């Protein structure tokens, strides 16, 4: 880097699919690009398919390695693939490698440790609950080895200091509020009809089915709500298949759904991955948004729902309390408590005044968090380093 010139930054993420960390990375990359920050985006995936949506940001998609039978093998294959590609692409072209996940960080630090003069930054969105020692060690190294660490909430800054001795800077998420805002002329009847929700209260969840999303508790709550609402409500779940294999947990969720007399496709509708262009319309067509996570880095989907003017129910965990107030912006319930969650769902569905207050509060909260502000905070960090 020439003296006085802005640092050349490469953002690195492990996937091109619409998962939370990837969504964050792509929005951040675009905001940085609009600010004129020299940058390039690297990800693994299918070069012909590209990202889950179009982007004008300069980028390189590294062909993903063949799949492997275990998560451990998949992770280390991905690290090797990314490290080999970055080792050829980075020298002399970039001053900072900014990785967004465990896999990308291990690849970036390997390139640095091999002698390439780059600074490695890691954004920790959350810490995964891996079950094998090799993956636990890999994740620990991805937090301890970077030159600088960022987090998206004060809660995670405190946790990393307490558990890892790492001093991290907080840069919160953003949201494209205008994209999710409900148009005055919007009519969601056709979308609701596709899932049998016309005339029924429609709860929306974005995040898929996995342990940290509180999926079993959500199903338990939905079962309890049915006895209080007529006609019975619909729960629609949007979410890409996670990198980790939660098939066992998904099976338990579906078994519990059947045990409780809920019907998949009628009471619980699994939309899985929807097109990026279609996603805002699901927020706009729903009656309320529900996000009972046990663990989150920030909760980007919460901001998207609030930008759409949806009444929101969340779990009462520290990261949400950093930017939300129970009873004013959202309704909060104790994490893991299906009974309290059901009570909140009934309140939101039956109290029009409460829904109206939450609908008015949501866009005001979302407006406080822009991707431009997020990008400017990143530029300041890059320049300091």
Domain extents for the chain?
9-174+370-384, 177-366
DSSP structural state of residue 213:
G
Q: What pLDDT is attached to residue 5? A: 82
Average pLDDT over residues 76-97: 96
How many CB atoms neighbour CB 48 within 10 A? 7
For tokens 């998560």, name the residue.
71
Confidence band of 2 (pLDDT split at 50, 70, 90) = low
3-state percent breakdown (helix, strand, coil) of the chain, nearest 5 = 45, 15, 40
Cα–Cα distance measured from residue 214 to residue 336, given in angstroms and rounded to the nearest whole number: 7
Q: What is the mean pLDDT of residues 314-322?
A: 96
Complete edge-to-edge strand list for the sheet that includes strand 312-315:
268-272, 234-238, 202-206, 288-291, 312-315, 331-333
**Quick one: pLDDT band at residue 325, thresholds 50, 70, 90?**
very high
In the predicted structure, residue 258 carries a pLDDT above the cut 70: yes
Quote the percentage of the chain above a pLDDT of 70: 98
**DSSP code, position 328:** T
Confidence (pLDDT) at 26: 97
Residue 19 has pLDDT above 80, yes or no: yes
Is-same-fold flag (9-174+370-384; 177-366)?
yes
pLDDT at 16 over 90: yes
Q: How many residues does the chain have?
A: 385
Query: How confident is the model at residue 359, as a pLDDT?
Result: 97
- Decide: 86 and 78 in contact? Cβ < 8 Å: no
Nearest to 329 by CA among 294, 301, 302: 302
The model carries a pTM of: 0.92
Quote the strand ranges of the chain, DSSP E: 9-13, 39-45, 59-63, 96-99, 119-124, 148-151, 169-170, 202-206, 234-238, 268-272, 288-291, 312-315, 331-333
Give the count of beta carbons closer than 10 Å to the beta carbon of residue 272: 11
Q: Which residues contact 138 (CB under 8 A, 6 or more apart)?
A: 75, 76, 79, 102, 106, 130
Residue 128 pLDDT level (bands cut at 50, 70, 90): confident
Contacts of 69 (CB under 8 A, 6+ apart): none
What is the band of 39 on the pLDDT scale with cuts at 50, 70, 90?
very high
* Mean pLDDT for the chain overall: 94
Residue 48 reports pLDDT greater than 70: yes
Contact (CB, 8 A) for 103 and 82:
yes
SS3 state at 126: coil
C-alpha 81, offset from chain centre? 24
The CATH architecture that domain 9-174+370-384 belongs to is 3-Layer(aba) Sandwich (3.40)
Among the residue ranges 2-16, 22-36, 105-119, 145-159, the one predicted with the least confidence is 2-16
Whether residue 61 contacts residue 45, with contact meaning beta carbons closer than 8 Å, is answered with yes
Model confidence pLDDT, tens digit, residues 187-241: 999 999 999 999 999 999 998 898 999 999 999 999 999 989 999 999 999 987 6
The pLDDT of residue 130: 77
Alpha-carbon distances of 132 from 79, 135, 137, 142, 208, rounded to whole Å: 17, 6, 9, 16, 23
Of the listed ranges 33-47, 64-78, 302-316, the least confidently predicted one is 64-78
Mean pLDDT of 160-173: 96
Residue 1 has pLDDT above 60, yes or no: no
Residue linked to tokens 């809920």: 262
- The domain 177-366 having CATH identifier 3.40.47.10: the answer here is no
Quick one: 184 exposed, middle or buried, by C-beta within 10 A (0-12, 13-18, 19+)? exposed
pLDDT score recorded for residue 4: 66
Alpha-carbon span 206 to 236, nearest angstrom: 8
Helices (H), 118-164: 133-144, 154-164
Is residue 27 within 8 A of residue 118, CB to CB? The reply is no
Q: What percent of the chain is predicted at pLDDT more than 90?
A: 84
């Amino acid at each position: 880097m020439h003296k006085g010139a802005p640092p050349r930054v490469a953002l690195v993420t492990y996937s091109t699919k619409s998962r939370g960390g990837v969504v964050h990375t792509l929005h951040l990359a675009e905001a940085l690009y609009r600010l004129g920050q020299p940058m390039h985006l690297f990800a693994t995936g299918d070069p012909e398919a590209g990202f889950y949506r179009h982007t004008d940001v300069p980028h390189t998609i590294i062909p993903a390695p063949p799949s492997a039978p275990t998560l451990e093998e998949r992770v280390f294959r991905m690290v090797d693939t990314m490290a080999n590609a970055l080792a050829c692409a980075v020298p002399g072209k970039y001053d900072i490698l900014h990785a967004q996940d465990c896999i990308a960080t291990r690849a970036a630090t390997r390139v640095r440790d091999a002698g390439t003069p780059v600074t490695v930054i890691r954004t920790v969105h959350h810490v995964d609950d891996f079950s094998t020692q090799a993956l636990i060690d890999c994740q620990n190294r991805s937090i301890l080895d970077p030159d600088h660490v960022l987090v998206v909430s004060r809660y995670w800054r405190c946790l990393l200091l307490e558990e890892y001795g790492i001093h991290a800077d907080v840069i919160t998420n953003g949201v494209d509020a205008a994209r999710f805002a409900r148009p005055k002329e919007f009519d969601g009847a056709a979308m609701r009809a596709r899932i049998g929700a016309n005339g029924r209260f429609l709860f929306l969840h974005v995040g898929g089915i996995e342990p940290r999303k509180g999926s079993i508790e959500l199903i338990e709550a939905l079962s309890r709500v049915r006895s209080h609402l007529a006609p019975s409500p619909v729960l629609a779940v949007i979410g890409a298949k996670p990198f980790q294999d939660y098939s066992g947990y998904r099976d338990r969720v579906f078994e519990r759904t059947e045990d409780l007399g809920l019907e998949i496709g009628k009471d619980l509708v699994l939309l899985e991955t929807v097109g990026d262009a279609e996603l805002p319309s699901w927020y706009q067509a729903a009656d309320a948004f529900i996000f009972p996570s046990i663990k989150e880095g920030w909760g980007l989907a919460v901001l998207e729902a609030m930008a759409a003017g949806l009444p929101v129910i969340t779990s009462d965990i520290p990261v949400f309390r950093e930017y939300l107030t129970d009873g004013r912006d959202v309704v909060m319930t104790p994490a893991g408590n299906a009974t309290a969650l059901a009570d909140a769902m009934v309140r939101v569905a039956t109290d029009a005044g409460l829904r109206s207050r939450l609908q008015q509060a949501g866009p005001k909260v979302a407006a406080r968090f822009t991707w431009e502000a997020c990008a400017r905070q990143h530029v300041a960090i890059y320049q300091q380093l």
